[in-house]
A and B are shown apart, each in its own frame.
Chain A
Amino acid sequence: MGKRVALTGNEAIALGMRQINPDVVAAYPITPQTDIVQYFASFVSDGQVKTELVTVESEHSAMSATIGAAAAGARAMTATSSQGLALMWEVVYIAASFRLPIVMPVVNRALSGPINIHCDHSDSMGARDSGWIQLYSENAQEAYDNLLQAVKIAEDKRVMLPVMVCQDGFITSHGMENLEILQDEEVRTFIGEYTPDYSLLDTKRPVMYGPLDLQNYYFEHKKQQAEAMKDALPVILEVAEEYRKLSGREYQLFEAYRMDDAEYAVVIMGSAAGTTRVVVDELRAAGEKVGLLKLRVFRPFPYKALQQVLGKVKAVAVMDRADSFSGFGGPLFSEIRAGLYDLETRPRISGYIYGLGGRDLGIDEIKRVFAETKMIARGGDAADLVTHLGVRE
């Protein structure tokens, strides 16, 4: 039985990192860093972890040092947010292509400009093609649970890919909520010891990381990376099952809430899924056949599993907390549409971009989305394929 505590999302992540007790954490210690690293630094100072904490001069250096440590065979972590992830850019791709099982909490916040410190998913969505697994969390509990599972997913020999554990900036990162935590020993048994197959420090089996790799083999290595991402799907489910036995909390690739007989549904990620669940309950009580699909695993994108659930409804509204400026909606919208294309009967799909820069998504706006989606499910036409929800014109 877990221990019930009240923590902010950032405190929950820092506590999870203490329980993981990584060999190395390299992080930039100043804004846009969050207080995850501040809390973790106090665990280091108080001798509660054996971690070597390296406070570096930029996020580019943070990821570079984390990569170095991981390539040397260490269990290595960092954490970032917003502009910090943007500055890491170049090396984020290298972490994935080196197949280093780095776990990085990301506190989702808007990108400049204009300058904004509040929640949206632009930072991690920008890194969606970098080769990292991405898990999104609705609340502090899920951020904590996803963090612990991420270590085991990343280090699985069938995967060996880095993982971003995302939660919504301020809304859950700085808000206090209840959650249940595991005992330190339970966490350590669950994640186990990390034994790398290839380590720069293993002088008996010398290896090279980051060599020149031109027309001859680069493509083959990229194919292997793509295969590893696909192979991660069953591993994520296996780890979730093991975690359920330990914690009693169930995780899947996504949560399908009241979807069994749903006529129309909303797809959403992060903290706003909680608000949407409340709206679903309210509409269900009024006799509406509505459902919610909360995506947890965005990378790898579980399109086959999504087909099975979303293929049964008549209309879907996909809600993105990021714009890709493609002129064709947000990233989640276009991927859901592409993922369902091969179905013989597929739902009609409209897109909503919401909550940029921390704009609140209220109950009434979600009700409006359901009302419009119902109209489309009954054969009406959407006014716009993609709507910027709650924006002043």
Chain B
Amino acid sequence: MAKLMEIRWHARGGQGAKTAAILLAEAASEAGKFIQGFPEYGPERMGAPILAFNRISDEPIHVHCHVTEPEVVVVLDPTLIGKAGVTEGLPENGVILVNTSKSPAEIRKRLKMEKGRVMTVDASAIAMDTIGRDIPNTPMMGALLKATGLMPFEKFMALMRSNLEHKFKSKPAVIEGNLKAIERAYQEVQSDDDKS
């Protein structure tokens, strides 16, 4: 893993990008990493474009400025492509992960991306199947894990289980649904050829 990994989440208010950034930060922290997880607070409301960020490192993190050149971008809503500057600051060896039923090749065309790596997964469909609602944040965490190799899959699932059990004590069905969603996205995410 790179010394410091920076991740930017693009979503619409209500899709759970902030929660995903916080859950990812918690899991990485429990795995011994140094972390930051923070949303960009604005006049957010249901449906408005929002951003959230992660920094994950093997060493203590001191910076408190914005993430401007994330090597990983996660897009929870494909309708943000062309509107929210999703590829802004993405380096040539960066990865962009999109929640869509389309193939990486189609998304690459829409993004007008020549370099880097494009990955896609139908997180919304997975969320509908497993959780019963179109909340694509947790499945996208599974796809992100595959893209980054942040930690071994089994370790991540164990940490997520314990975090979700803590958060949803009274709703065991929600816990199992989310874990299944993460696992399916981890398996189903597609990547085109790395052009970096």
Contacts and interface: CB of A to CB of B under 8 A. Distances in A.
Interface of B: prevailing SS: mixed
Contacts of A243: none
Interface stretch (A43-51, A172-180, A190-198): A172-180
B26 A174 contact: no
A207 B64 CA distance: 48
Contact of A275 (B37, B38, B64): B64
A390 B76 CA distance: 32
B29 A6 contact: yes
A172 to B, nearest CB: 7
Given A6-B25, A6-B29, A170-B41, A175 B63 contact: no
B64 A171 contact: yes
B177 to A, nearest CB: 24
A172 B65 CA distance: 11
B97 interface: no
Interface string B25-69: 110011000111111010000000000000000000111111010
Contacts of A5: 29
Contact of A175 (B26, B30, B38): B38
B20 interface: no
A362 B63 CA distance: 9
A139 B22 CA distance: 16
Contacts of A172: 64
A177 B35 contact: yes
A175 B62 contact: no
A257 to B, nearest CB: 10
A189 B63 CA distance: 34
B61 A177 contact: yes
Nearest to A271: B64
A178 B63 contact: no
Contacts of A363: 63, 65
A275 B55 CA distance: 13
Interface in B146-161: none
B62 to A, nearest CB: 4
Interface in B4-40: 21-22, 25-26, 29-30, 34-39
B65 A176 contact: no
Contacts of A117: 41
A315 B25 CA distance: 39
State which size class the interface on B falls in: 20 to 34
A178 B34 contact: yes
A363 B64 CA distance: 10
Contacts of B41: 117-118, 170, 174
Contact of B65 (A4, A6, A118, A361): A361
Nearest to A277: B62
Nearest to A362: B65
A138 B64 CA distance: 9
A175 B36 contact: yes
Contacts of B26: 6, 176
Interface string A4-35: 11100000000000000000000000000000
A278 interface: yes
A381 interface: no
A170 B36 CA distance: 12
B30 A275 contact: no
Nearest to A170: B41
Nearest to B40: A170
Interface string A143-178: 000000000000000000000000010111011111
B58 to A, nearest CB: 12
A362 B68 contact: yes
Contacts of B34: 178
Contacts of B36: 175-177
Given A6-B30, A175-B36, A178-B29, A362 B62 contact: no
A277 B29 CA distance: 22
Contacts of B61: 177, 274
A213 to B, nearest CB: 44
A46 to B, nearest CB: 13
Nearest to B68: A362
Contacts of A260: none
A272 interface: yes
A314 to B, nearest CB: 25
A4 B35 CA distance: 12
A176 B22 contact: yes
Interface in A254-274: 271-272, 274
A275 B35 contact: no
Contact of B38 (A176, A178, A277): A176
Interface of B: 21-22, 25-26, 29-30, 34-39, 41, 61-66, 68
Nearest 3 CB-CB pairs, A to B? A175-B38, A6-B29, A274-B62
19 contacts: A6-B29, A6-B30, A6-B35, A6-B37, A118-B41, A168-B64, A170-B38, A171-B38, A172-B64, A174-B38, A175-B38, A176-B22, A176-B36, A177-B36, A178-B29, A178-B34, A275-B62, A278-B62, A362-B65
